[in-house]
Amino acid sequence: MVVTRVSPMSVAKISGVLYAILGLIFGALVSAFSIVGGAMAPDDVGGGAFGMIFGTAAIVILPVCYGGLGFVMTLLMAALFNLAAGWTGGVELDVK
């Protein structure tokens, strides 16, 4: 079986969802570290509140950024794959 073309939109949708899930995981980690770090910061500087707000926003911002950029870059790479597969004959797969 030789793969000579993929649907860029189909591949990009799947990739965007997978990257958004990764962004959610990374956002949760950043949030946990920021909230803990913000709670340990001295109150007179105001850095503690910023760390807590940043940590909470990371849960929303990172999945959106990761998902969006993953979608766009995969769309571009799938289109380039189609171009390169046309030149080289595609990718050979052994399927049982």
Q: Which pLDDT band holds residue 82 (cuts at 50, 70, 90)?
A: very high
Could you give the CA distance from residue 49 to residue 24 in angstroms, rounded to a whole number?
Answer: 22
| Residue 49 pLDDT greater than 70, yes or no | no
Domain borders along the chain are 23-83
Closest CA to 68 of 13, 11, 10, 3: 13
- If you average pLDDT over residues 5-34, what whole number do you get? 93
What per-residue confidence (pLDDT) applies to 38?
67
- Record the pTM: 0.79
How confident is the prediction for the chain on average, in pLDDT? 87
Per-residue tokens: 67:
């998902």
